[in-house]
Amino acid sequence: MSNVKDEIKELIAEDNLKDAVKKMYNLNVKNSHDNNQIIILNARFNRIQKELASYTITEMNYKVEFHRIKRAASYLLDDLELD
């Protein structure tokens, strides 16, 4: 596993999804499907952050979605092939 992947895994383990997703977004991935999945993760994370800030999501629902995104980011990172 590359050093970048290790750094991102550590950020995910520390619940620092903001930085983890940002680093994933800046990776050079080999195929467009994985790149699209990263874009979707980024959008999902940004959406729940905005919803929490505007009080349009409950804290419980925020936590559920946060952990779904965290799990998806971890699985995606395991499968990524970098350039």
What is the domain partition of the chain in residue ranges? 3-79
- CB-based contact 81:29 (threshold 8 Å): yes
Among the listed residues 49, 11, 67, the one whose alpha carbon sits nearest the alpha carbon of residue 24: 11
Residue located via tokens 């349009």:
56
Q: Residue 82 pLDDT more than 90?
A: no
Q: In the prediction, which pLDDT does 28 show?
A: 87
The Cα–Cα gap between 44 and 55 comes to 16
What region, left, alpha or beta, does residue 80 occupy, with left being phi > 0 and alpha being psi -120 to 50 degrees?
beta
Share of the chain above pLDDT 90, in %: 82
Mean pLDDT over 3-24 rounds to 95
Mean pLDDT over 47-71 rounds to 97
Q: Which two tokens stand for residue 81?
A: 């092939």
Model-wide pTM > 0.85: yes
